[in-house]
Structure 1
Amino acid sequence: MKIKNYLFLVLIIPLLSFTMHKYYLSLCEIEYVEEKQSIQIIIGFFIDDIELTLNKDNNTKLKLATKDEAPNIDQYFETYLNNNFKLAVNNNSASYTYIGKEYDDDIVRFYLEITDVKVLNSIDIYNTCLIRDFEDQQNIIKIYANNIQKTFYLNNKTLKALLKF
C-alpha cells in the first residue's frame, strides 16, 4: 500500500506543478494599413489579469465579462491603456482612438487606431501593461508594416521597442 501511495505522489506532484503555473502574457498586434493611412492595433489580455490590476488601481470590483460589469468599464480600460501603452510614430508622440473591446472566453481584446499616417518611417512602442502587478509579465508586440514583420518581447526590464523602416 505504501508503494502505491508513493507512486501516486511521485506521478501527481509533477503534473500539479505544471497545471498550477500561471503564465502572464499579453499580445499586441500592430498593422499599418497604407491604403487607409492608419495604424490598427489589437491588444489582448487575460481577463483575470487586467481585472486584478484595474480593481487595484481603482479600489473597486469591476466584475469583468459578467452581467454585473461596471457600466462605464470602457472608461477604466481607456484610462489604463492611455497610461500604460504609448506610441510614437515617425518620432512624434501619437494618440490613438479607443474603438472598443471584445470578450472572447478568458481574453479581452482592445481595438485602437491611429489615423492620418501618410508614411510610416518608424514606430516606437512603450508598454508597461500589467508589469507592475505581475513580475513575470511578458508583453509580446507583433508589427506588420511596409512589408516587414517584426516581433518584440517586452517585460519589466525592457519596456520599449523601436522599429525603423
Structure 2
Amino acid sequence: MKSIPVLIAFLILPFLMSNEAEHEYYVSVTEVEYVQKEQSLQIITQIYTDDFETLIRKRYDDSLTLTSEDESELVAVYMERYLTDKLRLKVNGAEIKFNFLGKEYKEGITYCYLEIENLPAIQSIEVTNQVLFDVFEDQENIVRLKLLNQNKSFLLVPEKDTCMLNFK
C-alpha cells in the first residue's frame, strides 16, 4: 500500500516536470547514486525553479531572480546554504556533508548537483529531505536511491521526512 503514492507520483511526474506554467503540485526529486569506482555519492536534486525562487526571495533576498542570464552570484550561495540545511545524509550512521558542485536551469526545473567523496564502503544510508516544506504545506519530495545493485524510491512528506536503506 505504501508504494501506491510513489507509483502515482512517478506516473504524473513527467507531466509535472515538463510544465513551465504554474503548477498545482509541489514536488521535488532527489536522486542519490553510489559510484563505487569513484567511491562517491552523486546527488542531483530537481526543484521547480519558480518554487525555489519563491523560497530564496522569502528566506534571503526578495529582489533575486533565478535565471541563466545575469544572475547574482548570491543565488548559488543561498541555494547551497538552503540545501545544506534541508537535505541531510547519514552514511553508516554518521552525518556526511556534501559538496555543492553547481546548478543549472532546464525547462522550468533547477538541477542542483552535489557530491560526497571518499566513501569506500556503504553499509547504510539515511536521507532527510525537508526541501520546501517550510514554504509549501503540500510539498512532497521523492528520493531515489541507487546503491549497491538496489534501486529504491521513497515519497517524503513533512510528517515523514526521512528514509533509510541498510545493506548489512
Q: What is residue 55 of structure 1 aligned with on the other side?
A: 57
Corresponding residue to 1:101 among 89, 93, 103: 103
Amino acid at match of 1:154: L
Gap runs ≥5 in structure 2: 1-20
Superposition deviation, residue 115 in structure 1: 0.5
Does structure 1 residue 151 correspond to structure 2 residue 149?
no
SS in 2 for 1:56: helix
Superposition deviation, residue 72 in structure 1: 2.4
SS in 2 for 1:50: helix
Gap runs ≥5 in structure 1: 1-18
Superposition deviation, residue 105 in structure 1: 1.4
Superposition deviation, residue 21 in structure 1: 5.9
Alignment of structure 1 residues 2-151 onto 2, 5 Å: 22-65=24-67, 67-151=69-153
Contact 2:68/2:105 (<8 A) preserved: no
Bigger Rg, which one: 1
Q: Which moved more, 1:19-28 or 1:101-110?
A: 19-28
Superposition deviation, residue 65 in structure 1: 1.1
SS in 2 for 1:35: coil
Q: 1:56 to 1:145 in 2, by over 3 A?
A: same
Aligned residues: percent identity? 36
Distance 2:133 2:144 in 1: 18
Amino acid at match of 2:121: V
Distance 2:82 2:132 in 1: 10
Distance 1:21 1:99 in 2: 28
Q: Please give the root-mean-square deviation of Cα atoms over the aligned residues, in Å.
A: 1.5
- What's the TM-score, normalizing by structure 2? 0.83
Kindly indicate which of the two structures has a greater share of residues assigned to helix: 1
- What's the TM-score, normalizing by structure 1? 0.85
Between the two proteins, the alignment pairs up a number of residues equal to 147
Distance 2:27 2:81 in 1: 20
The ranges of structure 1 where at least 4 consecutive aligned residues each deviate by more than 3 angstroms after the TM superposition are none
Superposition deviation, residue 46 in structure 1: 0.2
Superposition deviation, residue 100 in structure 1: 0.4
SS in 1 for 2:158: coil
